Amino acid sequence: DPDHEYFSDGLTEDVIADLSKIEALRVISRTTAMRFKGVPVDLGAVSRQLDVRYVLEGSARKSGSNLRITTQLVDAWIDAPLWSEKYTGTLEQTFEIQERVSRAVAEALRLRLTADDDRRLARRPTASGFVYDLYLRARRDILSFDRARLDRARDDLQRALGIVGGDPLLYAGLGMAG
């Protein structure tokens, strides 16, 4: 759903950020990963082009406050899935689901997480999944540079601040919205 694309893009960015926090794992950047968004690809060719062995694929569906996230870790050298899982939950469980995905990827790759890895994976960008959804939608609207959408972004961010109080992420969003 194009109206919810901001959410799947934000989720992609967050999973990349979470995985990059694992010291034993090298993760390509969001910018590079997003080049392949919505484009049919040959995983073997992508693997050679990016010099990676494993590719994490996924999709996110959002209906109201309900989520369904599907992920699959593929060994691109042999074109075989190592692990796949479907997660269902609510917006309030977004961070928990992201963390579960990151931990499952580490486990599938047989990586040993350090105590620092554990702490970094447990961090949350804000106190509420619902508020984070408002932030992601506001960020999408801010990047449109459309006056009406900038106004909507400010309204969403103010609404979010009313729910969780002072939050640096939301204040940063207000700064971007001008």
One-letter amino acid at 85 equals E
Read off the pLDDT of each residue in 37-51 and give the average, rounded to a whole number. 90
Q: What is the pLDDT of residues 143-171, one digit of tens each?
A: 999 999 999 999 999 999 999 999 999 99
* Residue pair 161/167 in contact by the 8 Å Cβ criterion: yes
Q: At what angle do helices 115-122 and 94-108 cross, to 10 degrees?
A: 150
Read off the pLDDT of each residue in 124-130 and give the average, rounded to a whole number. 91
143, 145, 172: which is closest to 160 by C-alpha? 172
pLDDT band per the 50, 70, 90 thresholds, residue 2? confident
Please check the confidence at residue 1 and state whether its pLDDT lies above 90.
Answer: no
Read off the pLDDT of each residue in 129-137 and give the average, rounded to a whole number. 95
* Residue pair 88/137 in contact by the 8 Å Cβ criterion: no
pLDDT at 3: 83
Name the strand (E) or helix (H) holding 125.
none
Quote the Cα angle for 27-33-35, to 5°.
155
pLDDT at 4: 87
Whole-prediction pTM: 0.85
pLDDT at 38: 85
CA 95 vs CA 35, 133, 172: distances in Å:
25, 11, 20
Q: What is the pLDDT of residues 103-113, one digit of tens each?
A: 999 999 999 99
